[in-house]
Amino acid sequence: MEADYVVIGAGSAGCAVTFRLTEAGKSVLVIEHGGSDWGPFINMPAALSYPMGMKRYDWGYLTEPEPHMNNRVMACPRGKVIGGSSSINGMIYVRGHAQDFDIWAEMGADGWSYADVLPYFKRAETWHGDAGDPAFRGHDGPLHITRGERKNPLYQAFIESGAQAGYGRTDDYNGYRQEGFGAFEMSVWKGKRWSAASAYLKPALARSNCDMVRGLVQRIEFKEGRATGVRLSDGTLIRARAEVILCAGAINSPKILMLSGIGPGNHLADKDIPIVADRCGVGQNLQDHLELYVQYAASQPVSIAPYWSLWGKALVGAQWLFNKTGLGATNNFEACGFIRSNAGVQYPDIQYHFLPIAVRYDGKTPPGGHGFQAHTGPMRSPSRGDITLASNDPAAAPKIRFNYMSHAKDWEDFRRAIRLTREIFATGPIKDFVDHEIQPGNAAQTDAALDAIIREHAESAYHPCGTARMGQRDDPMAVVDPENRVIGVKGLRLADSSIFPLIPNGNLNAPSIMVGEKAADHILGRRLPAENRETWIAPDWQAAQRESHAKAAAAE
C-alpha cells in the first residue's frame, strides 16, 4: 500500500493526473470510494438523467435551505463512481472563454492564462468537429469530442434564429470564437459516454505501475508538516513516497482538507480537529451556475417527445443496445448559444443549452406532448457560498450553501437572460414552431413575476467550483499556489474544479480535465510551451450588445 504518488479521487482531474504520471513511469495508487461505471445508465448518452440521483453512482448531496430561493433544499449531485462527475454529467464539452483564464492569471494564478492552458486543452482531446479552426483543437488526445448529427429541424431553427436576432454564428465555440450560435460538442465516442474513466483511468490501470484502492478517505496524514499518506475510514494507511494529490472535487476536496486539519482554524477547533495549517479560504468562494428552463409547446409534431413514452424509450434503448446509434447515442444537446447580456460586457455571460423536448433534468416531462426548451442563466454571478463540516465524521455529508441570488445584480441579470431568450424564440424560423410558452408562461412579464419564477423553478446546472482557489502564496484566501501545491504544507497538491478562482463561461468538465493535465506537468517539473492565439471579441462590445445593434448604430 505504497506508491510514488497517491491520488485521492478517480474523477475528471484525478483520472488525467493518474494517466500522465503513470505515462511518465511513476507509480500511482488511486483511491476511489465509488464503484464500477459498467451498465447502460451511465454508458448510454440519452440516459443521462438516470445515473444522476442513483445512490450507486451519486453522493446524493443536498444544499442547506437556500434563503433567496424560497428556502428550497436543492440537489447537488456529484459522481461517486470511477470517472467521477464525468460519468453522470450531461457530457457537454465547453472549455470556457479565453478571457476566463486571462482573468485567472490576473487574480494571481500565474501561468494559467489562456495562452498557458490552451496547449493542455489540446493535449487532452481528439477532436472530431466538422467546422472550425483545427489549430485550436487537439488531434491525438485521450478524450474524444464529437458533435451530434442535428437531424431534428429544431436544432437548425434555433441556431438560425439566434443568428437572425443579431448574435451571429460560431463554427466552433471551443476555438477562435465562442460568441454566437452553433453546434454543441459532447464527450461521446462511437455512441457511448466517453468519460474520464474511459479516456484516462482504464488505460492507466492497464499499466503495471498503477493500481486502484476502494475506500472512504478519513484524512491525509502529515509528519512535520509534510503529507506522507492517506488514512482510510477502515484504518488502512496508504503511503506516498513523493506526494499526495487531492482530486476529490469542489465539494469533497475542501471536506477532506478540513478533516485533515487544513482550513479555517476556528471551524476546525469547533469540530475537534487538530490544526495542521490555518487556511481561511478552504471551503469559501463556492460558485455555481443557476439556470431556468425556458420551455415552449410546439405548434408542429417535430420534437422528440414521442420517444419519452415507455415504448419509445424501449425502441431507442434497443437501437442503442445493438448498434450504438439513434437517439440513444446522443445527449440530445446538439445546439447552443453564447451571448452578451449588455453593451459594455466584453465577452458572453449568458449560455444556452437547446433541447428538442420540454423536459426537466430528472427526465420528467410537462403535460402537452411536443415541445422544446433552452436552459439559460447568467454565467458570472457575484454570489458566493461555502462548504463547511457538519462533523468530523468522514462519512457525514458536508454543509453546502451556495447562497444563490444573494446580490441584486443576480436578479437583474437573470431577468435579462429570460427576456433575451423570449426575443430569440420570437425571431427567425424557431418562432414558426412555437405554440405557446410553458415556462415562465406568458403571464410572467413583470420583474416581480419573473423573480417568483426564478425563486421557485431555477435549478443548479451542477457546476460547483472555487472552494480551494488558486492564488499567490501570500494571499490569505488562496488555498493552492499556481503549481497546485497546497499552501502551508509540503507534499500535497490539489487538482480539480475547487481551484478555479472564477467560474468559467460554460460547463466545467473540460476545464476540470485541463487542470488535471496541467497539474501533472507541474508535478513532473515540465511545461508545454504557451500558445499566443488571438480569439474573437466583438469589435463594438463597449457600445453594442450584439452584432446587429452595432451594424444599426454604424448605419445611423
The residues that are catalytic are: 463
The cell for 296 is 415552449
Q: Residue 217, annotated ligand binder?
A: yes
Can the peptide bond before residue 440 be classed as cis, meaning omega within 30 degrees of 0? yes
d(CA 509, CA 520): 17
Could you tell me where the beta strands, DSSP code E, fall in 470-537?
Answer: 492-494
d(CA 295, CA 79): 28
The cell for 250 is 469542489
Contact 13, 515 (CB under 8 A): yes
Contact 167, 179 (CB under 8 A): yes
Spacing of C-alpha 90 from chain mean position: 9
d(CA 540, CA 346): 9
Give the helix ranges, DSSP H, for 324-363: none
d(CA 22, CA 236): 23
Q: Taken in order 318, 320, 324, 325, is the CA torsion positive or negative?
A: positive
Task: Provide the greatest CA pair distance for the chain.
Answer: 74
Contact 139, 127 (CB under 8 A): yes
Label residues 27-61 b or e (16+ Cβ within 10 Å = b). Answer: bbbbbbbbeebeeebbbbbbbbbbbbebeebbbeb
Q: Residue 81, annotated ligand binder?
A: yes
d(CA 349, CA 400): 25
d(CA 438, CA 442): 8
CA atoms within 13 A on the CB side of 14: 34
Q: How many CB atoms lie within 10 A of CB 241?
A: 14
Q: Assign 465 to helix, strand or coil.
A: strand
The cell for 547 is 452584432
The DSSP bridge pattern shows strands 262-263 and 277-278 to be parallel
d(CA 37, CA 87): 7
Contact 480, 487 (CB under 8 A): yes
The DSSP bridge pattern shows strands 386-388 and 399-401 to be antiparallel
Helices (H) and strands (E) in the chain, counts: 14, 25
Annotated binding site: 81, 217
Annotated binding site for FAD: 81, 217
